[in-house]
A and B are shown apart, each in its own frame.
Chain A
């Protein structure tokens, strides 16, 4: 369903993704993990057709997503930023999303808006970081896109809202199976959400597979937590040159 063949995305000489190949069958919640600069956001921007590959072949539902409305309307990318200068109200922001998303569920959006205590009349720019994150979470969930990508989307939410967000994803995914990609640095907190994991390291795929395989790896290694195992897989922390 998502198929990358030798995909490179370069900015001048810097390669954000370096000859990456992988296939995701979809219908899962896939954790996309990687250190800062590993290429997670680049991968997502390719899927959501914000950019096109420098070389190689990136396909979603068998098609190139770039400038392809059939595909782009099926892919929602929710990030941790934006809307700081958006003078639209929360209500209008939701209306706008509804207009672009063929599977939008208005009733669900309203129930979520209540649960996340969204101030619907206020301008997006006047909200707190966490409230804006909640609006984007509601947009991402209610869009019911075949491919929904949450790129660190909960940043700014407090622990209670984060928990609610995770519960909402799980409950909605149970009733409306689709493909959800979810990037996070809180691996141990979020790991129960995933059944599949893709780990990127320096623009390449370092691990792909069932997240329970990762757990078995951890049990057989010296790592105390999944986070530790993850650091081990991605080459550890480079302490040279700090002191």
Chain B
């Protein structure tokens, strides 16, 4: 789990994203129980009602589900749903601004591809 929240965007949003990230990375697998409210509060030192708000949003989206008296669990299809949702915005949110910026900076398509390859290799070798 992300060790710290940076405090710039709304905290419930950061709580939600931190849990999504855990699911996408496979650190929280389908049918895993997510850490208790108390543990998350202690980890991030944030208000428990704010943590609950972020968790509730994920429950509303069907990413998490509640087992009465036990806690919150990762839905069986959660990774797939997240990939579809985040992937849907990938081109618009990430690729378009990147290409736009590269173009403005005069980095050609070849140059951009080379830089992406270099970063790709670097991150995979870490």
Contact = CB atoms under 8 A, between A and B. Distances in A.
Interface of A: 28-29, 163, 166-167, 170-171, 173-175, 188, 191-195, 211-212, 215-216, 218-219, 226
A191 B9 CA distance: 12
A29 B10 contact: no
Contacts of A171: 38, 41-42
B115 interface: no
A175 B11 contact: no
Q: Across the A-B interface, give the 9 residue pairs with the lowest CB-CB distance, nearest first.
A: A212-B10, A174-B48, A195-B47, A192-B46, A195-B49, A215-B10, A195-B50, A174-B38, A170-B41
Most buried by A among B11, B37, B47: B47
Contact of B8 (A173, A195, A215): A215
B45 interface: yes
A115 B37 CA distance: 22
Contacts of A195: 47, 49-50, 53
B39 to A, nearest CB: 10
Chain A interface SS verdict (over half): helix
B45 A192 contact: yes
A194 B5 CA distance: 14
A172 to B, nearest CB: 10
B12 to A, nearest CB: 6
A194 B45 contact: no
Given A195-B47, A195-B50, 7 more contacts: A29-B47, A166-B45, A167-B42, A170-B42, A211-B47, A212-B50, A212-B53
Given A212-B10, A215-B10, A215-B11, A28 B49 contact: yes
Contacts of B45: 163, 166-167, 170, 192-193
A136 to B, nearest CB: 21
Interface in B83-99: none
B7 A192 contact: yes
Nearest to A213: B10
Interface string B1-32: 00001011111110000000000000000000
12 contacts: A28-B49, A170-B42, A171-B38, A173-B47, A191-B7, A192-B50, A195-B53, A212-B12, A212-B13, A212-B53, A215-B11, A216-B10
Given A195-B47, A212-B12, A188 B7 contact: yes
B11 A212 contact: yes
Nearest to B12: A212
A167 B41 CA distance: 8
B41 A194 contact: no
A178 B9 CA distance: 26
Interface string B50-89: 1001000000000000000000000000000000000000
